[in-house]
Structure 1
Amino acid sequence: MAINQITTLCLAVTLFLVGTFLVKRVGFLNRFCIPAPVVGGLLFAILATILKGLDLIEITLDTSLQSIFMITFFTTIGLGASFKLVKLGGKLLVIYWLACGFLALMQNVIGVSLAKLMDLHPLIGVMAGAVSMEGGHGAAAAFGETIEGLGVPSAVSIGMAAATCGLVAGGLVGGPVIGYLIRKFDLKPSSEETEAYVEKSQHPITDKSFMMQVFLITFCMAVGTYVGEWFSTITGFVLPGYVGAMFIAVIVRNVVDRIKPELINMREINLIGDISLGIFLSMALMSIKLWEIADLALPLFIIVLVQVIFIVLFAVFVLFRLLGKNYDAAIMVSGFLGHGLGATPNAMANMSAVVSKFGPSRKAFLIVPIVGAFLIDVFGMPIIITTINLFK
């Protein structure tokens, strides 16, 4: 049964809403912050697999709109990259940022090495490396399309499966690890109040302002896709369109900050980004052909397990000490475990769970979202792109 473009879009939105309903009402999904589109999309993918396995029907989806929503989301991330936030983090932000870059490198080394050891294509290891671990479902879907174009079938499905495992693992290990550090070193929140810059738009949503944000986003998307094509033509490196759009958006944001900062309304941009991400992930997850990756279940589990072991050891014995071996460092480590294996919302959930029990950490809640939301891509994207081009 072939489902056309518009019906596929309607189905994606429906699955997003179903996922939202389930996440709110199922304790496990809520506790580990499993994204709503992941829940809804995977349910559909499982249903489609069962129907095919019983030889009842094979469903074909037209997901041609998926790339537009994908580029839109990453463009909104770029527009949120104000350098004003970076300055407030200081030395700790730089250390945390460099640690995330090192993690991306090691995740690809682990993924590619284990893939070769198990006689798999190295790019499968990349999909189970920084792409799906630090990158999460968004990067898994985006780079998966690129890697499938390089001749590795089911790359999106592999990346999504690895990202889901990583997301759950990030939620599982965060609390216990940080609880151990806090108890072992008898850590307590600092009495000093650290000022945190939190960017909030107080402007109401209006049609004029909303269309201005749409213009900025589409402008960055248009210019960014041409920049990506030009870069690939000149260098021979594969550069996904959304990467170019995101970096153009970073430039536009900081130019506008100097000229007319009130032009950007982050409340509206975040709204557009959230909707785009929801639809994009729903489409990506619901189109996964689970039967194509059944044979890779064990290798993927092994790779993800090694990734989890590595990040826990690195976070506890290296990063915790580099960040000062204090309460703030412990909370930042909990965030590191969250987005290093899953996504920034996972990091925030980990930190919120810890501070609700042990006390606040304003430094952690300033630094982790800044790095996890956009700075991480400054290192992560080049590392992923270079690795892909080394093994394509």
Structure 2
Amino acid sequence: MINLDLNIVSTLILAIVLCLFGNFIKNKFNIFNKVCIPTPVIGGLFFSLLIFILRKFGILEITMDTSLMPYFLSIFFISVGFCINIFSAKGGGKLLFLYWLLCAFLGLFQNLIAVFSSKLLHIKPLLGFMCGSVSMEGGHGYALAFGKTIESIGIENACAIGIAAATLGLITGGLLGGPVGRFLIYKYDLKPLKGGSRLFKNNKNQNTIKTNKPKFQFTPIVFLENILILLLIMNISFFVSNIINLKTNIIIPNIVIGMLLSVIINNFNIKKQVFEFYEDLFEFIQNISLDIFLTMALMSIDLYALSSLLGPILIIVFFQVLFVLIYGVFICFRVLGKDYDAAIMISGLIGHTLGATPNALANMSTLTSKYGKSETAFLIVPMVGAFLLDAFSMPCILFFINFLK
């Protein structure tokens, strides 16, 4: 077997090639575009399947350096923050709380589904529990963290099962979020609000607020000024996140700090006009960074290592997917307002409650690029999926671990 070790530059080249390949396939076969499958999902999964086949037949094994992934993710969230105007927001707190509550209940039911399914499949409850919110809402990070905790009390293979479930969730969340959102948009003939967001539509002073959308002039100086501010915020967010973790042992993802900083700076600038921020540029950057991040995440999935663990995991994850779809479409969509913003948020909910927050944002970006913006969704979903949901999910997970051990 040939062993190929890709360095950081080669891995980035591969990710870009796969992203372009995914875009080519999406344009070539209209079915992918019609059902709103994100481009990175097409390219990344194709490569994962190809490498799985090559390794299965002893032809080729590839090792990749994906250490750039956290930086692309951070750039994405900071860029999102620079595109959010909160001065016109009205009622956002209530909608944010509703979305958080819906996701919290979803996580609780994911744990109950996992435990009851493990009873039916005659496997250890704590192993089945690793296919609950630990790996679905929590993703690979939670799967590793809590998997090690469960293994420390004598339950073997908890991490492996958690990683396998998180991987399946990442794939299904990326594949289903866009089509479900599209289905809701067409079924109820939904259109973006004229103000771009439910949070903006009732504000009488909206037209008196200055925005940061001058006529876009792309020059080297403009690019460097905006990129410098973005990189400074990224560095500060990593620093602050590490300091908080070291001093308090509380984990706050740097992406949350970076996004909050960019929102604060951007909205201060809307009032004071200190800098020349260009939303067009940041929208461009966020699309690129998200595509590269998600392509890297999917192309580096080791399907070969997961193939031996897919038996009961597939069944439990199937139940999880079925529940998320039913809960999202028939309950969350209605509670969130049954409008265009709600449909976009449901595509995001499917992404991050089965996979990860970047999945959610890729689903929403695919839909909004085709049907119109939803500032409400891009304000609420990242905040809940990346940070606020942890306030419920972590205590819930710890309760189940202690109850089942």
Instruction: Please tell me the TM-score bracket, short chain as reference.
Output: 0.7 to 0.9
| Within-5 A mapping of 1:96-245 | 96-117=95-116, 118=118, 119=125, 120=127, 122=129, 124-126=131-133, 128-131=135-138, 140=139, 144-145=140-141, 147-148=143-144, 151=148, 152-153=159-160, 158-174=165-181, 195-196=195-196, 200-245=213-258
The aligned counterpart of 2:35 is: 32
Question: Structure 1 residues 243 and 350, CA, compared in 2 at 3 Å: closer, same or farther?
Answer: closer
The aligned counterpart of 1:275 is: 288
Whole-angstrom CA distance in 1 between matches of 2:239 and 2:327 = 38
2:60 counterpart SS class: coil
Whole-angstrom CA distance in 2 between matches of 1:145 and 1:249 = 25
Whole-angstrom CA distance in 2 between matches of 1:238 and 1:211 = 32
The answer on 1:259 being equivalent to 2:272 is yes
Whole-angstrom CA distance in 2 between matches of 1:169 and 1:159 = 15
**Which deviates further from its counterpart, 197-206 or 343-352?**
343-352
Question: Structure 1 residues 30 and 154, CA, compared in 2 at 3 Å: closer, same or farther?
Answer: farther
Question: Structure 1 residues 283 and 61, CA, compared in 2 at 3 Å: closer, same or farther?
Answer: same
**Pick aligned residue for 1:340 from 316, 337, 349:** 349
Query: For the Cα contact (< 8 Å) 1:228–1:244, is it kept in 2?
Result: yes
Partner amino acid, structure 2, of 1:265: Y
Question: Structure 1 residues 122 and 236, CA, compared in 2 at 3 Å: closer, same or farther?
Answer: farther
Unaligned runs of 5+ in 1: 132-139, 183-187, 324-328, 356-364
Whole-angstrom CA distance in 1 between matches of 2:377 and 2:19 = 23
The answer on 1:248 being equivalent to 2:261 is yes
Whole-angstrom CA distance in 2 between matches of 1:166 and 1:352 = 19
What do the CA deviations read for 1:297-344 (whole angstroms, capped 9, x no partner)?
22212111111111122146544xxx4xxxxx4444433332222335
Query: For the Cα contact (< 8 Å) 2:7–2:64, is it kept in 1?
Result: yes
Unaligned runs of 5+ in 2: 119-124, 149-158, 201-210, 352-359, 399-405
- CA drift of 1:374 comes to 2.7
Query: For the Cα contact (< 8 Å) 2:48–2:302, is it kept in 1?
Result: yes
> TM-score when scaled to structure 1?
0.77
Whole-angstrom CA distance in 2 between matches of 1:267 and 1:211 = 15
The answer on 1:3 being equivalent to 2:10 is no
The aligned counterpart of 2:206 is: none
Identity of aligned residues (%): 23
Question: Structure 1 residues 200 and 162, CA, compared in 2 at 3 Å: closer, same or farther?
Answer: farther
1:83 counterpart SS class: coil
Query: For the Cα contact (< 8 Å) 2:182–2:367, is it kept in 1?
Result: yes
Aligned residue pairs, count: 350
What do the CA deviations read for 1:114-167 (whole angstroms, capped 9, x no partner)?
233323364542355445xxxxxxxx5xxx346435533476664353133234
Question: Structure 1 residues 250 and 173, CA, compared in 2 at 3 Å: closer, same or farther?
Answer: closer
What do the CA deviations read for 1:21-41 (whole angstroms, capped 9, x no partner)?
111122221112211111111
Query: For the Cα contact (< 8 Å) 1:331–1:351, is it kept in 2?
Result: no
Query: For the Cα contact (< 8 Å) 1:69–1:277, is it kept in 2?
Result: yes
- CA drift of 1:288 comes to 0.3
Query: For the Cα contact (< 8 Å) 1:123–1:391, is it kept in 2?
Result: no
The aligned counterpart of 1:185 is: none
Query: For the Cα contact (< 8 Å) 2:185–2:191, is it kept in 1?
Result: no
The answer on 1:287 being equivalent to 2:293 is no
> TM-score when scaled to structure 2?
0.75
**Once superposed, what is the RMSD of the aligned Cα atoms?**
3.3
Whole-angstrom CA distance in 1 between matches of 2:301 and 2:365 = 28
